[in-house]
Structure 1
Amino acid sequence: MTIEPSGGPPVPGLHADPLELATELPLSEDEAAYVEAARAPNTLRGYRSDWAEFTAWCTRLPRDPLPAAADTISAYLTELARAGAKVGTMSRRLSSIRFAHQLHDLPDPTTGARVVAVWEGIRRTHGAPPDQAAPLMPPALFDVLDHCPQTKVWKTRPPEPDLAGLRDRALLLVGFFAALRRSELANLRVEEISAHDRGLVLTLPRSKTNQRGEEHELVVLPRAGRRAHCPVTAVQTWLDAAGIADGPVFRKISRGNRVLDRALHPESINDLVQAAVARAGLPGGPFSAHSLRAGFVTYAHLRGASDRAIAHQTRHRSLATLGAYVRLETAWQDNAATQLGL
């Protein structure tokens, strides 16, 4: 949700980038680098975007964004709500405003009684369940795999393996079996993959729930009974064909079917999953990269795996969180409404 600025006089204290605030503090180069490292890159990108949106809104009124008064925050939230912004979007905007003030060593303007009261009212009035990605799991997952191109045909040179197709097959299978988030798929490196008698082991240095890297998380990638559905085979085939021995596992492919030395962006992985689903003409949705992780949880649950066993692979710290993944698929199971005999 974007509130377009209409221009106005410059506002004292206006900053387009919250990270620029750190440069005004007496920080050494190393200290400034650690300030930036305190948040994940995706989080910082969101903060930058949200802060630019908020300061543009303040310029239009005009109001001072730094420090922001309580009535500024409450008015901003109210306008966002009236414009149809989702509660999750507004919550992220509050986090960005809070972060900018912390960097400038200013009090948090989002905790005052006025802001809290307005925010609670907005949540009660406009709150709704978040949009959930549809789970992508067998047999639909296998249909999607079958539609990944395997051979690249050229007019001027002999046919050759379609590297994008091989990459997509490996990405889909790893995303499902390992239940990885899209950021984890994008950041996965060859050095983090180890061979095991039963398959592969992924050692993730950081994740959404382990952003400081205080302990490495282990994720297993077992061999599947069928070679066409085996994530271990798919990864080995992709790495061999692409000639990748180190660095990022999942990379961009040029139009000329050549591997580029650049890892896929998390958003690109989202696009690749959606494109793969579209190739297969899969009904339902909406689908996204998260559909692979949701598909693993749902499919494992339907196959009788315990919540604890599922969380062992997904690394969920709260077993209650898993329930959101499987409600729709299991709503018909053991339900008295289906046993009325009417």
Structure 2
Amino acid sequence: MSDSQDAASGASAAELARRPPGLGVLLGLDAGAEGLSEEEAAYARASKAPATVAAYRSDWAEFDEWCHREGHRALPAPPAAVSGYLTALARAGAKVSTMSRRMAAIRFFHALQDLPDPTSPARVSTVWDGIRRTHGAPPDGSDALMPPHLFDLVAATATTRSFRTRPDEPDLAGARDRALLLVGFWSALRCSELCALTVADVLPHERGRTLVIPRSKTNQSGEQAELVILPYAAHPDACPVRALQAWLELAGITEGPVLRRVSTGNRATPGPLHRASVHRRITALVAAAGLDQLTPAPRYSPHSLRAGFVTWAHTRGASDREIAAQTRHRSLASIGGYVRVQTAWEANAATNLGI
């Protein structure tokens, strides 16, 4: 919208400054929003994942509110607003990763309006470099969930559900949790990929199953589907294929999402699990297995299954390239970050100095 159009609309300067840029596109409004045709609007809606949209909206609202409170214009934001905002975040103890994400949202909203990147001026970049050097720290990652704790959680899953008005039944939530843990570990899928997995993505193979991942963090356009293998395990209780098949058969799932919520009546619902649900299940199973009583207590999250695969495979002698064939990491350096702490004492010259 031009200055003359703004004036004609009667919008005040304050209102214009706080107007969320390009929000119609982000919210997936109907054709006509932002002057888009129906086809353009459809492609615009497909340009960002829902989680990314939610994160951008939240981060922009935070920045917009800060600017309004401090007397700065949010759009376009002057360098003083961005550097001041970063300084305020650092003062409040925000993590560098959080501040980096907020900067990405600010850049994005300005780009939607074809405005210059407000994070690029020297004032902002210099302050940002100083914040990273002063407050930068290694990522506060989750612990790797692998044997034997992985099998402790599997053993803690429920097997039977009792009812007052009908005979005992196999516990569907327990069957689902066993599939979640074992498939999540063996496949090394990201949590978002695990939750998005559908029956159509699971292909039979004489040695197990092949999982087709249409899109991923590193393949967002889906130009070529990625393949992940799910082999039979030697021990039935540790086998992801058997656990997956048992869950699907008990739940009567023949199409749609693989991992689903289970109702209080012990029935699988149509909707898929989400990351928050996965986190709650892992936390509950940690408590059921008594691992929360350990000192220190392990810090497990949905990402712990993927980290556990990488760490366990490395300790079993797999090369970084072999691990990357399953995890689909593009950079082998990323794999080293998973195992550095766990393997720092292995094959290290400092342990064999003879003094």
* Greater relative contact order, per chain length (Cα 8 Å cut-off, separation 6+): 1
One-letter amino acid matched to 2:173: A
Structure 1 match to 2:313: 300
One-letter amino acid matched to 1:116: S
Q: Does 1:155 align with 2:167?
A: no
Structure 2 match to 1:329: 342
- Shift of residue 108, structure 1, vs aligned partner: 1.2
- Shift of residue 33, structure 1, vs aligned partner: 2.7
CA distance in structure 2 between the aligned counterparts of 1:24 and 1:55, rounded to whole angstroms? 22
Q: What are the within-5 Å matches in structure 2 for residues 257-268 of structure 1? A: 257-268=266-277
- Shift of residue 16, structure 1, vs aligned partner: 4.9
- 3-state SS of paired residue (2:97): helix
RMSD of aligned residue pairs (Cα, Å): 1.7
5+ residue gaps, structure 1:
1-8
CA distance in structure 1 between the aligned counterparts of 2:181 and 2:223, rounded to whole angstroms? 28
Structure 1 match to 2:16: 12
- Shift of residue 315, structure 1, vs aligned partner: 0.1
Structure 1 match to 2:326: 313
Residue in structure 2 matching 1:220, options 223, 229, 241: 229
- Residue identity (%): 57
One-letter amino acid matched to 2:318: A
Q: What are the within-5 Å matches in structure 2 for residues 262-277 of structure 1? A: 262-277=271-286
CA distance in structure 2 between the aligned counterparts of 1:302 and 1:211, rounded to whole angstroms? 31
Cα deviation per residue 1:6-32 (whole Å; 9 max; x = unaligned)? xxx954231357533677632123212
Q: What are the within-5 Å matches in structure 2 for residues 160-171 of structure 1? A: 160-171=169-180
CA distance in structure 1 between the aligned counterparts of 2:225 and 2:23, rounded to whole angstroms? 28
Cα deviation per residue 1:245-282 (whole Å; 9 max; x = unaligned)? 00000111111111111011122212222222222122
Q: What are the within-5 Å matches in structure 2 for residues 248-259 of structure 1? A: 248-259=257-268
Structure 1 match to 2:251: 242
The answer as to whether partners of 2:182 and 2:240 remain within 8 angstroms in 1 is yes
Structure 1 match to 2:9: none
Q: TM-score, normalised by structure 2?
A: 0.90
The answer as to whether partners of 2:22 and 2:34 remain within 8 angstroms in 1 is no
Which segment drifts farther, 258-267 or 205-214?
258-267
Structure 2 match to 1:193: 202
One-letter amino acid matched to 2:139: P
User: Whose radius of gyration is greater, 1 or 2?
Assistant: 2
One-letter amino acid matched to 2:317: G
Q: What are the within-5 Å matches in structure 2 for residues 82-121 of structure 1? A: 82-121=91-130
CA distance in structure 1 between the aligned counterparts of 2:25 and 2:342, rounded to whole angstroms? 47
Which segment drifts farther, 25-34 or 59-68?
25-34
- 3-state SS of paired residue (1:171): helix
- 3-state SS of paired residue (2:17): coil
Superposition misfits of 4+ residues, deviation over 4 angstroms? 21-24
CA distance in structure 2 between the aligned counterparts of 1:32 and 1:57, rounded to whole angstroms? 31
Cα deviation per residue 1:76-108 (whole Å; 9 max; x = unaligned)? 101000000000000000001111111122111
CA distance in structure 2 between the aligned counterparts of 1:240 and 1:184, rounded to whole angstroms? 22
One-letter amino acid matched to 2:223: E
Structure 1 match to 2:4: none
CA distance in structure 1 between the aligned counterparts of 2:21 and 2:327, rounded to whole angstroms? 34
Which segment drifts farther, 38-47 or 86-95?
38-47
Structure 1 match to 2:303: 290
Count of aligned positions: 334
CA change 1:30–1:218 in 2 (3 A) is same
The answer as to whether partners of 1:11 and 1:63 remain within 8 angstroms in 2 is no
Structure 1 match to 2:211: 202
- 3-state SS of paired residue (2:18): coil
CA distance in structure 2 between the aligned counterparts of 1:267 and 1:124, rounded to whole angstroms? 32
Structure 2 match to 1:127: 136
- Shift of residue 147, structure 1, vs aligned partner: 0.4
- Shift of residue 110, structure 1, vs aligned partner: 1.0
Structure 1 match to 2:6: none
The answer as to whether partners of 1:297 and 1:322 remain within 8 angstroms in 2 is yes
